[in-house]
């Protein structure tokens, strides 16, 4: 305490024999000396002898809030941080799920609105064969070398009972590509046309399956 007091008054000092009593085995048996410079000895003695003002009876020592936190406060702080971490994770998870759902929706919906075939499929679901033929012919004119357009146009004509056009489109698709299914479709058209030529054409076209 004396050294701290002198340090506060800018008087250089140091302790001597501070740990001698520990070596000798007798605590407090050896005095601890406070050494100061000779030219500051009188000032140091005056400071140490000066009595500091006494504290009032209602003086509040106070406690450092950081020192009052015990183990319970530490646990509460850990639990609070865990709750905040869990809440943050929940928001991140919710945001991730929202982004995933939106991505899946866009993957499946955008092609339906961009692809020209979406309108054709919609017309076929409504049994609007004339509209489906018109839309498919437009696609075929834009992509004349794509066998799929001719094949699908042949499918529509076949369902309408227009066997001549169906055979023409299937033949064109077969020339552009060689999938085995087209050969089978051509055979079905020719067999049906031959059968109808013997018994007469059917009046009702085959409906599009639901």
pLDDT interval class at 88 (50, 70, 90): confident
Residue 67 has pLDDT above 80, yes or no: no
Q: What is the pTM of this model?
A: 0.39
Per residue in 142-159, pLDDT tens? Answer: 998 888 999 999 999 999
Residue 105: CB atoms within 10 A of its CB come to 10
- Taking the C-alpha atoms of residue 89 and residue 94, their distance in angstroms, rounded to an integer, is 8
Per residue in 96-145, pLDDT tens? Answer: 898 888 887 776 665 555 688 889 999 999 999 999 999 999 999 999 88
pLDDT at res. 30:
61
Q: Domain segments of the chain: what residues?
A: 2-49, 75-113, 117-199
pLDDT at res. 160:
92
Per residue in 159-207, pLDDT tens? Answer: 999 999 999 999 988 888 765 667 788 888 989 988 888 876 554 555 5
Which phi and psi angles does 25 have, rounded to 5°?
80, 5
pLDDT at res. 207:
59
- Taking the C-alpha atoms of residue 177 and residue 186, their distance in angstroms, rounded to an integer, is 13
Q: What is the CA radius of gyration of the chain?
A: 50
Per residue in 8-61, pLDDT tens? Answer: 778 877 776 666 655 555 555 566 777 778 888 888 888 777 766 665 666 565
CATH fold of 117-199 reads: 1.25.40
């Amino acid at each position: 305490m004396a050294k701290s007091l002198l340090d506060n008054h800018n008087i250089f000092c140091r302790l001597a024999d501070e740990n001698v009593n520990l070596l000798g085995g007798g605590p407090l048996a050896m005095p601890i000396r406070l050494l100061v410079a000779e030219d500051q000895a009188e000032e140091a003695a005056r400071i140490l002898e000066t009595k500091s003002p006494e504290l009032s009876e209602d003086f509040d020592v106070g406690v450092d809030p950081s020192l009052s936190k015990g183990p319970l406060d530490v646990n509460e702080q850990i639990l609070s941080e865990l709750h905040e971490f869990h809440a943050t994770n929940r928001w991140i998870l919710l945001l991730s799920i929202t982004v995933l759902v939106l991505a899946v929706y866009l993957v499946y919906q955008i092609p339906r609105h961009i692809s020209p075939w979406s309108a054709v499929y919609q017309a076929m679901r409504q049994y609007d064969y004339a509209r489906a033929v018109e839309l498919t012919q437009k696609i075929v004119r834009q992509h004349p070398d794509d066998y799929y357009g001719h094949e699908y146009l042949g499918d529509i004509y076949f369902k309408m009972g227009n066997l001549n056009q169906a055979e023409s489109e299937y033949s064109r698709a077969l020339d552009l590509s060689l999938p085995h299914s087209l050969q089978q479709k051509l055979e079905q058209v020719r067999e049906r046309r031959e059968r109808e030529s013997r018994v007469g054409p059917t009046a009702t076209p085959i409906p599009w399956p639901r």
